[in-house]
Structures are given as C-alpha cells and as structure tokens.
Amino acid sequence: MEKHILSKSTFLRGLQCAKSLYLYKNFIQLRDKQSAETTAIFNRGNNVGILAQKLFPGGVDATPAKRSDNILAVEKTQQLIESGAEVIYEAAFQHNGVLAILDILVKKNNEWYAYEVKSSTKISKTYLLDAALQYWVITNYGLPLADISLIIINNQYTRDGNLELDKFFAVKTVKQEALQQQEMIEEKVYQSKLVIANPEQPKVAIGEHCFIPYHCDFMGVCWKNVPVNSVFEITGIPKSEQFALYNAGYKTISEIPFKNNLGANANAHVQAVQTDEEKIDKTAISTFLSKINYPLFFMDFETFMPAIPIYNKTKPYQHIPFQFSLHYKKDKESELQHFYFLAEQGLDPRKAFIENLLKHTETEGSILVYDALMERNILNGLKKDFPAHTPEIDLRLNRIIDLMIPFQNKSYYHPAMKNSFSIKNLLHALVPDLSYSDLMISSGSIAMTAYEHLQKETDLLKIIEVREHLHEYCKLDTLSMVKIFEKLEEVVKEK
Ligand code: SF4
C-alpha cells in the first residue's frame, strides 16, 4: 500500500479552496503562525473522544506504536477485523489514496456500524461531509456499513451525581446524508488529486471562502496586498458587502464614496476614518456618568467551560466562574484599591467565588462592568446554585452599570475602534499606554485554557507561575475599565 495522498482534513481543506490545498501540500512553510488565542482553543482539555469509547467498552485501539505510521494502522485494523474484534477504536482505512481514521467501529449482529465523535453540541455541514468521506473510504475499501453515526454532546444534559454517558452523549445517524454525498465525494477526490499533482498553483482570488467554514491559514500569502484601513475593516456589514466594495475597486475606506449607505454603525466608522476625527457627544456621556455613584467597583469575571461537566448540577460547556478582579474607589479623591479571587485548582470554584464576591462588594455604589451580559448571566446562574444568596446577588445585579454603553451608542467613537467595542480595541484607541501585549495570558480564551490545564497540573512552581499570570490578566481588565472611565470623565470636562 502506498502512503495516502489525502486525509480527512486535507480533503476538507480542498473543498474550501483548491489553492489552500495546493499551498498546504507544496508550501506548508508559508502557513500563518497560529495565534496564541487559536492555540489556546486547540489545547483546551477535551477528552470527549476517549469518554465516548466507554459507550462501547472492551474495544481494541488500532493506533500503531508509531502514531504517524498510517499504513501500519490500516494493516492493524484489517488484522483486528479478521481476528474477530467487535469494537475497534481509531480504525484506519485507505481507498484510492484517501485515508480515513474512524473513532469507533462496532460489529453488531454480524454488521458493522461506524461512529465518529465530535465534541460539539450541534451537527455542522462540515461534520456531515467528514462522515460522508469516512463512509466513502470505508465502504469502497470493502467493509459494508449498516450505519454511520455522529456522536455529539447533548447540551440539555445536567450532571446529577455520576456522569451518565447515555444521557451526556447523543447519537445521530447520518447515513442518508452520507449516501447523498457519495458522487460528489468521488468527484472532489479526483479533482483534489489533480490540484496536488499539478505543478501550477491554482488561481483563486480572495473571497468569502477564505473564512468559510474555517479562517484559512494562508491569508498571509493571499491577503498580503490588502491595504491598511481596507474595506474589510468595516465591521458590522456582511462579508459579501465588503467584497462587493472591494471588487468594485474601493480597496480602502477612504476611497468609498460618501453616498454609500452601509447602515448606521458602518457609516459612522467610514466617516470617522475618512475625517480622521473622534466623535464625542458630551451631553450623552454626561448623562451616562450621572447615573454612576461612588464608591465605584470595576468588576470582571473569568470563566472556564468544560465540555464534560465536572461539577454537580452543571451542563456541558457551562461557564464556570473561577476568578474575579475588582478595582475599588471609595470616592473621587481616594486611592484606587484592588481585590481579587482566584479559585484553588481541583475544587468546584463556585461557592468560594460567590462568597468572596459578595464580601468584597458589600457597600453601596455602582458596579461597573464592561459588556455586562456574561457577568449578569453568571450571577443569575449562581442564584440557582446557591438560592440562599439570591437577595444579596439581586442587590449586586441592580448596581451593575455597563461601561460599554457610551461606546456602543456611539456617544464616543474613535476611528481606531474599527467599529468593535472590545475592551482591547478601546484601550488601543483611547489609552494606548496600557496594553495586553506583554502579558503571558492576554485573552479570556487563553485564561480559560490555562485554568483548565491547572486542574491536572502537579508541578508546584508551574501552578504558582500560571496563577500569577492569571492575576495579571484579570487585574489589567479592571484597570483598563478604570482608565476608560477616567477618559470619559476627562472628555466631558474638556472645552
Ligand atoms: S486565503 Fe483564501 S484564496 Fe488564499 S488559499 Fe486561503 S482560502 Fe484560498
């Protein structure tokens, strides 16, 4: 058997874009460097595949000692089938140069059933294509399948005591969908092989396909001539509209004619970039500030979202709060103080989290949060977990004021915000001296992954180091809010 030409992932890459497949096979060194954010998402602890094997216990793993030896994996799978194995994990098959490694293969009543595990709660179009390719490879290899199913996570499941696998997982047959795609798969495999064999790079212009279904990792190659302040920086309009402008010859925002109507938010950004001016509505900002009362609390939560609910009365992917930062200012003249909480790893953090938060926010005064939806949801969730604390939590909820409002309302707009109101964009535009760039943990996703990994970390020095980075990150979030609040106060005072 010859080494495979296409795998599931390269096949799907070719479906998204022939040029991406060509570059991947011939110039992989040109791939974009993965961002820390993306790496964090990929590294999220997620043993869903291993857990799903327990639905079919007693299986044999076909993975060879040298994991990358796929030919050996196919041979081992064949040997297992011939020797009468009835449950095979990581079963490998190859047909016509295409390799497919299936999560679980099961023999029942002398018929074979294929299962592919996804750590998602929904079946996407890509998962259906993935299953259709598996079906094509396995059945053409010579193993008829009575059915092929996706095993996904049931997002309605709430853990109550021991994890109940039959309720946590949902098994959905996708055989009909796979059968409908077989001709297309055959044709696309043929075309993909031509792309790979062709010495010439396919000519593909940039387009919406660069983002669907995945953000392509060759944008550094294809997008290198897209200028700064391009029309792709106009957020709040569909990609199709951005490309319509670009393909009509308007490469930068400055080139867009004034008569173009892109909707209120996008127009505001276009106008700000074209005039290079901040827009400040002092009356609206003053009205917003007049609702804020000292003492002030600047509050931010960090959460993590285990796919497998590890604590009782939690659902898959539920946000579990593990950390908060609070900057506190008693009155206008007083010194800024900082309080924080970071849960001990390995324990359910919710009880200690809410008790500490209530203790540190006892007094009157406004609680400022940036983009308050998540914090409100967490507090409402904690009311259900700890009903005795409901009255106190309600008092905190009533004191929350969302610091994002004046920016979202465009009472204060700066061209560098690029129509995005993330705290990082705001900081970059309004307080450029303060930045997340020097931090080891520089986003909520990275914090989430770091805390998740701490659950199993045993190296004490590593634990201390990660906890220190988590402190720094969450502290900067609330310090940024303080600076943004001060900026609002400053601009209303200016003549
Ligand atoms: S950036 Fe776009 S055009 Fe270039 S390879 Fe990726 S998907 Fe294709």
Q: What is the pLDDT of residues 368-379, one digit of tens each?
A: 999 999 999 999
CATH class of the domain comprising 8-12+47-196:
alpha beta
How confident is the model at residue 128, as a pLDDT? 98
Distance 477 CA to ligand 1 centre (A): 35
Q: What is the largest CA-CA distance in the chain?
A: 85
For ligand 1, atom 7, the nearest C-alpha belongs to: 210
How confident is the model at residue 235, as a pLDDT? 80
How confident is the model at residue 263, as a pLDDT? 80
Atom of ligand 1 nearest to the CA of 206: 3
Distance 215 CA to ligand 1 centre (A): 9
How far the first Cα of the chain sits from its last, in Å, is 78
Dump pLDDT digits (tens) for 332-358: 999 999 999 999 988 999 999 999 999
How confident is the model at residue 118, as a pLDDT? 94
Atom of ligand 1 nearest to the CA of 18: 8
Instruction: Determine if ligand 1 sits within 6 Å of the CB of residue 19.
Output: yes
- Tell me how far apart the alpha carbons of residues 305 and 56 are, in angstroms, rounded to a whole number: 26
Going from N- to C-terminal start, the domains of the chain cover: 8-12+47-196, 226-277, 284-493
How confident is the model at residue 259, as a pLDDT? 61
Atom of ligand 1 nearest to the CA of 207: 2
Two tokens, residue 338 = 């900082």
For ligand 1, atom 2, the nearest C-alpha belongs to: 210
For ligand 1, atom 4, the nearest C-alpha belongs to: 222
How confident is the model at residue 418, as a pLDDT? 80
Given ligand 1 and candidates 13, 15, 195, 210, which is best to mutate, with the most ligand atoms within 8 Å of its CB?
210
Distance 423 CA to ligand 1 centre (A): 30
The parts of the chain modelled with pLDDT lower than 70 are 40, 42-46, 258-260, 495
**φ/ψ of residue 217, rounded to 5:** -100, 20
How confident is the model at residue 410, as a pLDDT? 87
How confident is the model at residue 44, as a pLDDT? 63
How confident is the model at residue 495, as a pLDDT? 65
Can you tell me whether residue 161 is helix, strand or coil? coil
Q: Residue 452: in which H helix or E strand, if any?
A: helix 444-454
Taking a C-beta distance cutoff of 8 angstroms, is the pair 106, 113 a contact? yes
Given ligand 1 and candidates 13, 15, 17, 211, which is best to mutate, with the most ligand atoms within 8 Å of its CB?
17
Given ligand 1 and candidates 206, 208, 214, which is best to mutate, with the most ligand atoms within 8 Å of its CB?
206
The structure's pTM equals 0.90
Q: What is the number of other CB atoms lying within 10 angstroms of the CB of residue 136?
A: 25
Distance 14 CA to ligand 1 centre (A): 10
Can you tell me whether residue 123 is helix, strand or coil? coil
Instruction: Determine if ligand 1 sits within 6 Å of the CB of residue 372.
Output: no
For ligand 1, atom 5, the nearest C-alpha belongs to: 20
Contacts of 386 (CB under 8 A, 6+ apart): 350, 351, 354
Distance 219 CA to ligand 1 centre (A): 6
Taking a C-beta distance cutoff of 8 angstroms, is the pair 93, 77 a contact? yes
- Tell me how far apart the alpha carbons of residues 104 and 61 are, in angstroms, rounded to a whole number: 9
CATH class of the domain comprising 284-493:
alpha beta
How confident is the model at residue 175, as a pLDDT? 98
- Tell me how far apart the alpha carbons of residues 340 and 330 are, in angstroms, rounded to a whole number: 17
How confident is the model at residue 133, as a pLDDT? 98
**φ/ψ of residue 452, rounded to 5:** -60, -45
Sign of torsion over alpha carbons 224, 230, 231, 233: positive
